[in-house]
Chains A and B, each alone.
Chain A
């Protein structure tokens, strides 16, 4: 059996496609690199407690001040270069007068970055550079997997049959994502303005956490990932019987639906935690990544389906050809 990776090149790409592929990989790599370093620079900020001898607090504050500048130096390229596709997406969304996922993503980056940069220069208040870089890195990871999954789709007869079958589900997931983004944006601004009126010092961190969590990365992955896994199965077992194919298609639809409603439920369960201030912005970015990884793993099960049916029903005459 030939194992197919969605990261492998299974068809020759045009120079433009190849260039885009390389650029997205560099953006992803640089974002992860900067994220790890910014997290290290952010550590003293988390260790800071008011209690303690005055002179050591002064020394710590000076260290935090300098580390914030170093974090700023690393976050600027992440926001300007690594997150470039987001800004581009916002421009296209505005010029086409459409509402896309890039708008809340850009809002949360700006909402976390601008106050942090201001706090670094003035030397007061908290910075969220670790959240910004984590968010960009995790977002690019989810998108990289999504574009690779889309690019690896091979068009075959069975493949187009599968696409036609899943088209309503894909349309449904797009519609759900749009409604969901709008609802979460409204929710984020209402909740944080309530916090602003009562405890203004927490309002910003809650707004950033809510905006980060509003990113429907897992929702965006739900349909393309399961379709890609299913296409990979079709390509790996060309000798599939009609019955097995029907079984695979049924599984695809079921897993797509699971992904869709699973990621929605995850968001609905975690939003209240962020609304009451239990989720820090960096934790919100981590929660977003967890749901995306769960969707990818769930879709991967589709790839294992023909193998298990092969073991239980050997009489079907279903022999995967050993390739290379």
Chain B
């Protein structure tokens, strides 16, 4: 009955390692740097139409 633990325990550790790695990547790619930025970015969008084509965006 307990044999299943040999599979489940390493599996759970692997999942934790995966989630931890994803968290690491998300934080160091700057996704959590400014929690306000995400909600404002849609409002502070660059609405110019001409300049987008004729100039390179920053």
A residues with a Cβ closer than 8 A to B are 5, 7-9, 18, 21-22, 25-26, 29-30, 33-34, 37, 59, 62-63, 66-67, 69-70, 73-74, 324
B35 touches A66 (CB 8 A): no
How distant is A249 from chain B, measured CB to nearest CB, in Å? 27
B36 touches A22 (CB 8 A): no
- B28 contact set on A, CB distance < 8 A: 22, 26
Cross-chain contact of B20 among A18, A22, A33 (Cβ < 8 A): A33
CB nearest to A25 among chain B residues: B27
CB nearest to B16 among chain A residues: A37
Cross-chain contact of B16 among A22, A33, A66 (Cβ < 8 A): A33
B32 touches A5 (CB 8 A): no
Question: In the assembly, what is the distance between CA of A95 and CA of B36, in Å?
Answer: 40
Cross-chain contact of B33 among A5, A9, A59, A67 (Cβ < 8 A): A9
Q: Is the interface of B mostly helix, strand, loop or mixed?
A: helix
Could you list some 15 contacts between A and B, CB below 8 A?
A: A5-B36, A9-B36, A21-B33, A22-B27, A22-B32, A26-B27, A29-B23, A30-B20, A30-B23, A30-B24, A33-B19, A37-B16, A66-B9, A73-B13, A324-B40
B43 touches A324 (CB 8 A): yes
Known: A29-B27, A324-B40. 12 other contacts (CB 8 A): A5-B36, A7-B35, A22-B32, A22-B33, A30-B23, A33-B16, A33-B23, A59-B2, A63-B2, A66-B2, A67-B9, A69-B9
- A22 contact set on B, CB distance < 8 A: 27-28, 30, 32-33
How distant is B36 from chain A, measured CB to nearest CB, in Å? 4
As a 0/1 sequence over residues 9 to 46 of chain B, the CB contacts with chain A under 8 angstroms (1 = contact) are: 10011001001100110011010111111001001000
Interface size on B, residues (CB 8 A): 22
B32 touches A25 (CB 8 A): yes
Question: In the assembly, what is the distance between CA of A73 and CA of B20, in Å?
Answer: 14
How distant is B23 from chain A, measured CB to nearest CB, in Å? 5
B24 touches A26 (CB 8 A): yes
Question: In the assembly, what is the distance between CA of A207 and CA of B12, in Å?
Answer: 31
A8 touches B35 (CB 8 A): yes
CB contact under 8 A between A8 and B9, given known A33-B16, A33-B19: no
B residues with a Cβ closer than 8 A to A are 1-2, 5, 9, 12-13, 16, 19-20, 23-24, 27-28, 30, 32-37, 40, 43
Question: In the assembly, what is the distance between CA of A300 and CA of B27, in Å?
Answer: 27
How distant is A132 from chain B, measured CB to nearest CB, in Å? 16
B13 touches A9 (CB 8 A): no
- B2 contact set on A, CB distance < 8 A: 59, 62-63, 66
CB nearest to B28 among chain A residues: A22
Question: In the assembly, what is the distance between CA of A183 and CA of B13, in Å?
Answer: 40
- B5 contact set on A, CB distance < 8 A: 63, 66-67
B16 touches A18 (CB 8 A): no
CB contact under 8 A between A5 and B23, given known A33-B16, A66-B9, A70-B12: no
B16 touches A74 (CB 8 A): yes
- A67 contact set on B, CB distance < 8 A: 5, 9
- A73 contact set on B, CB distance < 8 A: 13
- A69 contact set on B, CB distance < 8 A: 9
Question: In the assembly, what is the distance between CA of A74 and CA of B9, in Å?
Answer: 11
CB nearest to A62 among chain B residues: B2
How distant is B54 from chain A, measured CB to nearest CB, in Å? 28
Question: In the assembly, what is the distance between CA of A141 and CA of B33, in Å?
Answer: 17
Question: In the assembly, what is the distance between CA of A30 and CA of B27, in Å?
Answer: 11
Question: In the assembly, what is the distance between CA of A167 and CA of B9, in Å?
Answer: 52
CB nearest to A9 among chain B residues: B34
